[in-house]
Amino acid sequence: MALEYTTYWLEISPRQALQLPVGSGALVRGTFGRALRRMTCLTGAHTCSGCQLATRCVYREVFDPLPPAQHALQAFSAVPPPYVLHVRSLDGAKLAAGQPARLGITLVGSARRNLELVALALRQALEEGWLRERISLQLHRVLADQVEGLVPALDLERKQLLPHSATSCLTPEAIDLSMVEPCAVEMEWLTPTALKQAGREARIEMVQARTWLMTLLRRVALLADFYGEAPLRFDFPRWADLAGRARFTVRQLRRQSWNRYSARQGRTMPMGGLVGRVRIEGPLRPFLPLMDFARRLHVGRHAAFGLGEYRYSVEAA
């Protein structure tokens, strides 16, 4: 096995009426990160910069991973973290006091071993409250997404793991460039998808199918490199050739934008991306296992916030 992940769903409810903002992934991520750092930091330092314990720190391992000194693809100043939040059902939602809701998080590869700390940090973040009003939420259950459905994954009272397995696994055998007959993929970009093309943000009228496909490939490859049992060896030039022969035959997209406040950087930052429907046609068969595997990993920038979620169906071209 090369790369596994498990998706967990937290059953929650607010203790008072709660109106969540658009872009609530940033809110969840920020409160989660602060709670996880408080729980795991051994030094009490104000920042992580220069910390001699960084390589053995759960906060850095899960939330803010250190980039490698060198990598085959490029030099990295930051690497994708091994988690993805699933907050689409919460985005802009208005919840009554006690109304049940779900918050999802996918833990990738080696990060799965930190489920207890991740869940307890999320529980602490919920208890301390969201928004300026600090509206507290209660965590009722942590469920793991399994083939047979959702099963309890953690005994919150005893703080003990319950038996469960990975939600999905990608093996080297699934990576096959021999099946190159054409097909068509109908796809919906469910949460804003932020792609870079030619070094800048991809615009609606310019974004290419190749960009989305190669962003997908690169994300899966990097997650396997950093958190998998072994790297997945992709022949990038051959994959790029296939992706370059794919085309959008339908492009019904719109841009969704908002601002978020970064406490760490002390400033407001623009967020957003493209949502809507596309149809891709071309030699896509080799990409299909990656598309299926990465549905819970998302594609594009700020995937950890919940951006870049998609669903798709396959048709004959």
- Alpha carbon distance 252, 275 (integer Å): 8
pLDDT value at residue 1: 64
**Is residue 256 classed as helix, strand or coil in its secondary structure?**
strand
Contacts of 139 (CB under 8 A, 6+ apart): 10, 11, 12, 119, 122, 123, 126, 127, 156
Q: Decide if pLDDT at 28 tops 90.
A: yes
Instruction: State how far the alpha carbon of 154 is from the alpha carbons of 14, 36, 158, in Å.
Output: 21, 17, 9
What the block records as the tokens of 144 is 């793991």
| Pairing status of strand 149-152 against strand 137-146 | antiparallel
pLDDT band per the 50, 70, 90 thresholds, residue 265: low
- Alpha carbon distance 76, 66 (integer Å): 9
Let me know: does 211 contact 195? Beta carbons within 8 Å: yes
pLDDT value at residue 72: 64
Instruction: State how far the alpha carbon of 44 is from the alpha carbons of 47, 61, 223, 265, 308, in Å.
Output: 9, 17, 30, 19, 34
pLDDT band per the 50, 70, 90 thresholds, residue 239: very high
Lowest mean pLDDT among 23-27, 150-154, 200-204, 313-317: 313-317
pLDDT band per the 50, 70, 90 thresholds, residue 242: very high
Q: Between 75 and 163, where is the model more confident?
A: 163
- Average confidence score pLDDT of the chain: 92
Mean per-residue pLDDT, 132-137: 95
80-99 pLDDT, tens per residue? 999 999 999 999 999 999 99
The dihedral over CA atoms of 64, 68, 74, 76, expressed in degrees to the nearest 10, equals 30
CA end-to-end span of the chain, whole Å? 32
Mean per-residue pLDDT, 263-282: 86
Q: Between 68 and 240, where is the model more confident?
A: 240
Q: Between 155 and 50, where is the model more confident?
A: 155
Q: Decide if pLDDT at 149 tops 80.
A: yes
Q: Of the candidates 179, 150, 129, which has an alpha carbon nearest to the alpha carbon of residue 290? A: 179
Strands (E), the chain: 3-14, 18-19, 83-86, 94-95, 101-108, 137-146, 149-152, 154-155, 160-161, 168-170, 183-193, 196-197, 200-201, 247-262, 267-282, 310-316
Q: Decide if pLDDT at 317 tops 70.
A: no
> In percent, how much of the chain has pLDDT > 70?
94
- Alpha carbon distance 63, 57 (integer Å): 10
Provide the β-strand partners of residue 3.
Answer: 170
Let me know: does 7 contact 104? Beta carbons within 8 Å: yes
Mean per-residue pLDDT, 102-131: 96
Tell me how crowded residue 294 is: count the other CB atoms within 10 A of its CB: 23
Q: Decide if pLDDT at 263 tops 80.
A: no
Q: Which residue ranges form the domains of the chain, and what is each CATH number? A: 3-169 (3.30.70.1890), 174-316 (3.30.70.1900)
**Is residue 127 classed as helix, strand or coil in its secondary structure?**
helix
